[in-house]
Structure 1
Amino acid sequence: MKQISFNQSFIKLFGLIITLFVTISGNSQAYTQQELNDSIAKQPYFSIHKDNYFITGVPTNKTIGRNTADAKYQISFKQILTRSELPWNTYLFLTYTQKAFWNIYEESFPFSDINFNPSIAVGKAFYDKDDKLKGIGTLAFEHESNGRDSIFSRSWNRLSLEYTTNIAKNTIGRFKVWVPFAYKKGNSDLLEYTGLGQINLSHIVKPDKLFFDFRFRKGLNLDFKGSVRTRIYFNPFDNNISNQYLMLEWFVGQAEGLLNYQQSQSMVRIGYVIRTNEFKWLRGK
């Protein structure tokens, strides 16, 4: 099978992004500060953080077989520590995300890599001059590792800053940068593949029915190391009270997992997802 380069794949995906994100407009039904505070007060302390999913698929850049097809799943949750008013109207919370790569088509079904990502973070909402919600910022201390030792150990720590806001009609942008530290043992060149930040765009094609998501990372050097991840969420059910979707994901690039972060991947997977609703307030009332 002919290999698909990271550069070629990115150009194709970027064209799709431009097609989807063409209508710029604000959100006329944005939450006020009091409305947001009232809504947050009614939320459970324990909730979903990132998407929770189980997907399986095949590579597009190598021969398809029992040793190259796999499954990937993710479990992610968030625990609010306090809703009481902290300095600068912030709130404190914990998150935990676990992502696993599972070779379910091989004999004995071995796990090839499991990544653990706990964090403690401070969140703050920002408002415009009319007291309408403009965006949500998060400052977090994150640790990520694969829990292994010896030459297979991979880990890094980072202080990350993320800002989430509406950038177009039905489109939410998440812009994240990080300052890494204590990461060079076992993966000294990791930043050449993960870079110092990422851009994530999520577009509502049809409310509660069809979503499109795009994430881009660029490594530090002037080459094509990095990654592009695209997702399409489709709800085939008439009622979606549980936020359940089918998800089609295409990942192209490096550092999808920590163990073999230098290895180039092009994987197409499909499966079941419980989609996060963490930034629902930015969609307006």
Structure 2
Amino acid sequence: MKYILTLLFNFILLNAVDNFTNIYEQAQKYENDGNYKEAMLLYKKAANFKISKEDEYIIDLSKNQQYKVETFTKMKNEFYQKYINKTDDKETNSSLKQMITGDFGLYPYKKNYLLPATFDLNKTEDRSSFETSFQISIEKPISYNFFKLGESISAAYTQKSFWQTNSDSSPFRETNYKPEIFAQFPYKNSETIKGFKVSLMHESNGRNNEYSRSWNRIYLESYLQFSNFFIVPRVWYRIPEKNSDDDNPDIDKYYGYGDLTLLYPYKKHTFELMLRNNMRINSQNKGAAELNWTFPLPDFLSTPNSYGFVQIFSGYGNSLIDYDRESHKIGFGIAFSR
């Protein structure tokens, strides 16, 4: 959903400011080339450009957010254009540009964050309650409209690590790896239902013997919108494994068969609540809740696309190795995407 909303916002933004930015960028080009007279004429034209109040608001957003984000990309492109010697072969030049600019079409997927300080209220003998946690999550689009349904097909990779920074030698206690491939389908016949997602996902911790944890799932996700409030229900089916290969045969008893995520953006804040339950009404009832809050940083700490981040988790399955252990954790840090 984040990727779809980002694409929609960028489409509106680029259409709203296209003429304005074209004039402004051409004026900058003239100024850099020393053609000050032509530059001044275009600057005046840009200043007198007739735009609506809505467009002014969008342009202000672009100046405060998009243009700052594009500065680094623009700098690398300019370095390539000005300082790198080109060859006579277009394909070689294309490869050279990609190497210099690092443009491989990768996008944020889930949250990317760093929590330098997390604390687990449940003390466990084999670890320190204090540790550092971080998550890296990227998406690579593969195809668009392959089935002529307006869908997008992507591959994604998410890695979440737990680092015992308070212990001797600071070992990584656990790392979970989640590669997946998925298709997202927009839904145009409803004001509430915005789309669906079908995904094949593997998750493991990359360890051996009794510490090995892994499972494969197919899940279906939907996106419902009520003004600026979103509901994201998800159900999954675990792909069966041979008993001899199954590292965690009872994982469904703790993770259940789905989860529900509630999203609420308010001004520069976002609130995200994930709820999960195995739907058993007896003493075997297990579940989890995770609250994520991102908020603007103070000006002296603020950088583009960086936000203060608080994460609170309570229940089972904070990590794969702990799928059958209960934990109650709180962490503080910085989110780089949301």
Runs of at least 5 residues in structure 2 that lack an aligned partner in the other structure: 15-103
CA–CA separation in structure 2 for the residues paired with 1:110 and 1:244: 27
Which residue of the partner structure matches residue 97 of structure 1?
158
CA distance in 2, matches of 1:93, 1:216: 26
Match of 1:81 among 127, 142, 156: 142
Residues 137-165 of structure 1: CA deviation (Å, up to 9, x unaligned): 11010000001111111100011111112
Q: Does 1:248 align with 2:310?
A: yes
Deviations 1:183-227 (A, max 9, x none): 56110110111110010011123x2x2121100010253344110
Pick from 285, 294, 297 the counterpart of residue 233 of structure 1.
Answer: 294
More displaced stretch, 254-263 vs 239-248: 239-248
Q: Tell which has more relative contact order, 1 or 2 (C-alpha 8 A, sep 6+).
A: 1
- Matches of 1:164 and 1:36, distance apart in 2: 15
Q: How does 1:201-216 map to 2 (within 5 A)?
A: 201-205=262-266, 207=267, 209-216=268-275
Spell out the pairing of 1:182-197 with structure 2 (5 A cutoff). 182=240, 185-197=246-258
On the 8 A contact 2:174/2:205 being kept in 1, the answer is: yes
Unpaired segments ≥5 residues, structure 1: 1-30, 277-285
Residue 182 (structure 2) aligns with: 121
Give me the CA root mean square deviation.
2.8
Q: Partner residue of 2:132?
A: 71
More strand by share: 1
Q: Which residue of 1 aligns with 2:319?
A: 257
**Kept in 2: contact 1:193–1:220 (CA 8 A):** no
Identity rate, percent: 26
Match of 1:39 in 2: 11
How far apart are the structure 2 equivalents of 1:83 and 1:38? 17
The Cα shift of 1:134 comes to 4.1
Alignment match of 2:167 (pick from 95, 106, 115): 106
Question: Alignment partner of 1:51: what SS?
Answer: coil
Q: Is the contact between residue 193 and residue 222 of structure 2 (CA under 8 Å) also seen in structure 1?
A: no
Corresponding residue for residue 210 of structure 2? 151
Is the Cα contact below 8 Å between 1:191 and 1:220 reproduced in 2?
A: no
The answer as to whether partners of 2:155 and 2:180 remain within 8 angstroms in 1 is: yes
* Among candidates 51, 71, 85, match of residue 111 of structure 2: 51
Once residues 120 and 135 of structure 1 are traced to their aligned partners in structure 2, the CA distance between those partners, rounded to angstroms, is 20
Q: CA deviation at 1:39?
A: 3.2
Q: 1:139 aligns with which of 198, 222, 227?
A: 198
Question: Secondary structure of 1:259's match?
Answer: helix
1:75-130 C-alpha deviation (Å, 9 max, x unpaired) = 0000000235434222211010001111110010111111000001111111136x
- Given candidates 238, 249, 255, the residue that maps to 1:180 is 238
Q: TM-score, normalised by structure 1?
A: 0.75
TM superposition score normalised by structure 2: 0.64
